[in-house]
């Protein structure tokens, strides 16, 4: 169940971060409320996930996969370019998450 909570946390964080641009500096009410609600859900779900998943592992997955996904969302829906430097950076983040998870899995 903890990984389901973590998956919801990641999806909510991706949705919230995607909405940031539409808040226009938190000046648009509905976009701002939706963004803040999604961040609230993300942190609540993360708090449930860390009851059973080590904090370092959960946070590495949450932040790393969220970062990789938001780059993809930015490219697909927000017109942001994908560069070789971005691909390299995301690859390093994903590799780091994998290393932390392998280390975290053996610590149980």
CB 18 within 8 A of CB 77: yes
In sequence order, what are the residues at sequence separation of 6 or more whose Cβ sits closer than 8 angstroms to the Cβ of residue 67? 90, 93
| 38-58 confidence digits (pLDDT tens) | 999 999 999 999 999 989 889
CB 3 within 8 A of CB 60: no
Cα 33–chain centre separation: 19
| 11-31 confidence digits (pLDDT tens) | 999 999 999 999 999 999 999
Residue 16 burial (10 A CB sphere; 0-12, 13-18, 19+): buried
Best CA proximity match to 61, nearest among 107, 102, 108, 10? 10
pLDDT score recorded for residue 105: 54
Residue 108 has pLDDT above 60, yes or no: no
Q: Full-prediction pTM beyond 0.85?
A: no
């Amino acid at each position: 169940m903890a990984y389901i909570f973590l998956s919801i946390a990641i999806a909510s964080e991706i949705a919230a971060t995607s909405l940031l641009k539409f808040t226009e500096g938190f000046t648009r009410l509905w976009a701002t409320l939706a963004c803040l609600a999604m961040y609230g859900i993300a942190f609540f779900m993360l708090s449930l996930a860390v009851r059973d998943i080590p904090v370092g592992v959960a946070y590495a997955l949450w932040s790393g996969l969220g970062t990789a996904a938001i780059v993809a969302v930015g490219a697909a829906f927000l017109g942001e370019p994908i560069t070789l430097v971005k691909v390299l950076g995301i690859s390093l983040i994903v590799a780091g998450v994998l290393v932390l998870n392998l280390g975290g899995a053996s610590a149980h």
